[in-house]
Structure 1
Amino acid sequence: MTVDQQRRTGPPAPRRRSRRDEILQIAVGLFASRGYHGVSMDDIGSAAGVTGPALYHHFAGKEAMLVAALIPVSESLLHGGRDRVAAHPDDASAALADLIDFHVDFALANPAVIALHLHELDRLPEEPRRQIRRLQRLYVEEWVGVLARLRPGLDAAEARVLAHAAFGLMNSTPFLGGEVERRRRAALLREAAAAALTGGGQPVA
């Protein structure tokens, strides 16, 4: 496609969500609000406007929905974290700020997924649960590597403590109400995570 053609046609349209994606989002919301055992396939089908046979065309069952919800999220966090660290090879402070921004944006956009992970991960069979745990450990190590560069006095175990403390702060979004508007919530979460990780903190924008 030529430049002139691009100008005439404009940017490509965003990918339309598939019916499968829509059903999965509905299932995640129900699992997060009612608990895994409090939701049946019939409940999901009813909420999605899908009959039983059509629902099973997309997913073998609730367990398959959990796997489909949690593994791609863990993969996306790892890849996104690696990209942000790689973007700042010589500036650990910038890498950490980018990681915090990335995770806060994720946490604010996906509170139901976070709640699902916190409360329902153990429902998964051993193999997908092990895969998710491995992806999470690799993601944590991206943070640990940046902290080691930024605070050389910390050993790896201490850096992991700080990383997990920061995740606890940032992953609090399922428990936050709407009293504070989203941009301000993001600023507060960024400040709290930065303070936990650096011992200082940054002004709230």
Structure 2
Amino acid sequence: MRQTPVKRPKNRKAQIALAAAELFCARGYHGVGVDEIAGVVGITGPAIYRHFPNKYAMLVHATRELGLSVRTAVDTALNGTGDAEQQVDRVLEALAVLSLEQRRVTGLYQWENRYLTAEHRTEFRRGLAALIDRVGERVRAVRPELDRVQARLLTRAAFSAIASLSTHRAPAARARATDLLRRAGWALLRADPPEPAGPATGAGSRPATPDSRREIVLATAIRLFHQHGYHAVGMEDIGRAAGLRASSLYRYFPGKSDLLAAAYHRAADRVAASTATSLDVAGDDDQAALRGLVEGFVALTFDHRDLVAVYLAENNNLPDRDRHELRRIQREQVEQWVRLLESVRPGLSTPDARLLVHAAHNVVTDLGGATDPAPPDAFRSVVTSMALTVVHRA
């Protein structure tokens, strides 16, 4: 008896790209193999190559699909009936829904695109910039007093707040989270117009030059991890950039993973120190304490840009023991913000406070730390204002 051949699903390529994107965001681009992606989809490794020539092509496709999803959501919202305010409101709601529905892949916009070539990275950024410009024009129709730069900045901040769901694992009930993120977006769009901060060509305050060989090695590794990604950097590269032989590095760090762990502990220590200072200075004034935490986080983001970028991007490459411990520390630091926010806003539930804290964090790191070129130092007051707007007005 002749068997009917099994037909391949028409959306197989999309299935592969989605599985790859979810794995990249969960485990990091270099931590995922083609066979693993194939296993999730239910096919063999060689079968993937009928659709993609290599893993990088999957990353490019997934990033483009993410951009298409955002563009479609914005286009649909802007093309509907109603005035500019209603159109903007639909944009914010549509993006909040998309952020929830694609939470496991939205992280591509923030850190996995670092693995794209310059050509594909430029393509992605131009597409996002065009969307921000389109929405910014509608924002100007709602707020005619804004100039184009101000409207664009507020719109970009709103996008960052809404996209923050991809940066954490806190539970988010669909209806409640959608409404809260939409409100956070509106709070930013209605914020006071940011004052010009000068051309975005400076890198802000520079950290002090390391004064020991161990510190030089660590600072060099952090810079290279930020510029090229953890997996693209070898001990030889670090030694060469630090002016040392690679064999000399092992006097200070047993291996590259230990360097990465040291970077994470350094970032955690700086956050802890900043938090302690803010709480001590504020005393019993929770409002002042919360503002101090925001200002401290902004300062860390501006003054230690490489460190913060690595802290955000390379978590999946940490050894298990360090990753679990650092996640515990991160949760404790977030909960300190949450407790203060609940004290300042008594009617706010703990889940809502937690989502707003993460949204404020993402606004800071997007506007102050992940831009290229780096923002000028004068811009930190604008970023501080944006973060405070999220936690106080959303």
- TM-score bracket for the superposition, by shorter chain length: 0.7 to 0.9
Instruction: Say yes or no: does 1:138 pair with 2:316.
Output: no
Counterpart Cα distance in 2 of 1:139 and 1:78: 7
Structure 1 residue 16: Cα displacement: 6.6
Larger mean Cα displacement after TM superposition, 89-98 or 190-199: 89-98
The residue aligned with 1:121 is: 315
Find the aligned partners of 1:54 and 1:124 in 2 and give their Cα distance: 22
Aligned partners of 1:171 and 1:32: how far apart in 2?
A: 14
Identify the residue that residue 380 of structure 2 maps to in structure 1.
186
Please tell me whether residue 67 in structure 1 is matched to residue 241 in structure 2: no
Deviations 1:112-169 (A, max 9, x none): 1122122211111111001111111111111111101100011111111011001101
Residue 29 of structure 1 aligns with an amino acid whose one-letter code is R
The match for 2:219 among 25, 42, 45 is 25
**Structure 1 residue 180, shift from structure 2 partner:** 4.8
Aligned counterparts, 1:1-205, within 5 A: 17-172=211-366, 173-178=368-373, 180-183=375-378, 185-199=379-393
- Give 1:85 deviation, angstroms: 2.4
Q: Describe the superposition over 1:44-77 as per-residue Cα deviations: whole angstroms up to 9, x where unpaired.
A: 1111110122111111111010011111321331
Give the letter for the 1:128 counterpart: D
Identity, % of aligned pairs?
A: 32
Distance change in 2, residues 1:29/1:16 (3 Å):
closer
CA distance in 2, matches of 1:179, 1:66: 23
Which ranges of structure 2 fall in alignment gaps of 5 or more residues?
1-207
Contact kept in structure 2, 1:75 and 1:135, CA below 8 Å:
no
- Which one-letter code corresponds to 2:380 in the other structure? A
- Which stretch of the first structure deviates more once superposed, 14-23 or 59-68? 14-23
Instruction: Write the distance in 2 (CA, Å) between the matches of 1:30 and 1:51.
Output: 16
Classify 1:29/1:170 alpha carbon distance in 2 versus 1 (closer, same or farther; 3 Å): same
Cα deviation code 1:72-127 (max 9, x no counterpart): 32133124213312432432221111111111100101111122122211111111
After TM superposition, give the deviation of residue 33 of structure 1 in Å.
0.7
Q: Distance in 1 between matches of 2:299 and 2:386?
A: 14
State the distance in 1 between where 2:263 and 2:237 align: 17
Aligned residues: 186
Structure 1: runs of 5+ lacking an equivalent: 1-13, 201-205
Say whether the 8 Å CA contact 2:278–2:292 is kept in structure 1.
Answer: yes
C-alpha contact 2:210 2:219 (8 A) present in aligned 1? no
Q: Structure 1's 57 and 180: CA in aligned 2 closer, same or farther, altered over 3 A?
A: closer
Q: Distance in 1 between matches of 2:279 and 2:297?
A: 13
CA distance in 2, matches of 1:195, 1:113: 25
So what's the TM-score if we normalise by structure 2?
0.45
Amino acid at match of 1:169: V
- Change in Cα spacing, 1:16 to 1:24, as seen in structure 2 (3 Å) is closer
Q: What secondary structure, in the 3-state scheme, does the structure 2 residue paired with 1:153 have?
A: coil
Letter in 1 for 2:376: E
In 2, Cα distance between the equivalents of 1:29 and 1:174? Answer: 13
Which amino acid in the other structure matches residue 57 of structure 1? R
With normalisation by structure 1, the TM-score equals 0.84
- Could you list the runs of 4 or more consecutive aligned residues of structure 1 that deviate by over 4 angstroms after TM superposition? none
Distance of 1:177 and 1:96 partners within structure 2: 28
Instruction: Give 1:4's aligned residue.
Output: none
CA RMSD of aligned residues (A): 1.9
Query: What SS does the corresponding residue of 2:383 show, helix, strand or coil?
Result: helix
Evaluate the alpha carbon distance shift between residue 178 and residue 109 of structure 1 in structure 2; reply closer, same or farther with a 3 A threshold.
same
* Letter of the 1:103 counterpart: F
Q: CA deviation at 1:15?
A: 10
1:5 maps to what in 2?
A: none
